[in-house]
Amino acid sequence: MDKNVRPVTVRILDKDYMVACPEGEQEALLASARRVDREMRRVRDSGKVLGTDRIAVMVALNLANELMQNGQSATSDNHTLEQLQTLQGRIDAVLEKHKA
């Protein structure tokens, strides 16, 4: 059964992003956005990485590594990989939109 998808606005590093989100998963998306925002601010404030694109890549790598370190089962890993691929697609779309 397909879930209805609705746009949800998330704010990361003082920028708003409109993200398509299946109905009923808005809170999880917002919690994820808060985590990404917090991590991106931490990396930015360290002063070691410059540029929003580079900060985003560093945070994505750190979060992916964290997921892998948690020792999830093979089934869970497949689900996590699908989630990461979906997230990567969304990140790519947002970055491409903001390049223009």
The predicted structure's pLDDT at residue 34: 96
The CATH number covering residue 61 comes to 3.30.160.880
Pairing of the two strands 5-12 and 15-22: antiparallel
Share of the chain above pLDDT 90, in %: 52
Q: Does residue 75 surpass a pLDDT of 90?
A: no
| Residue 77 lies in domain | 5-99
Q: Which residue has the higher pLDDT, 67 or 76?
A: 67
Q: Which two tokens stand for residue 14?
A: 């003082």
Task: Report the mean per-residue pLDDT for the chain.
Answer: 85
Tally of domains in the chain: 1
Element (H, E) at 87: helix 74-99
Q: pLDDT band at residue 3, thresholds of 50, 70 and 90? A: low
Would you call 59 exposed, middle or buried from its count of C-beta atoms within 10 A (0-12, 13-18, 19+)?
A: buried
Mean pLDDT of 37-65: 92
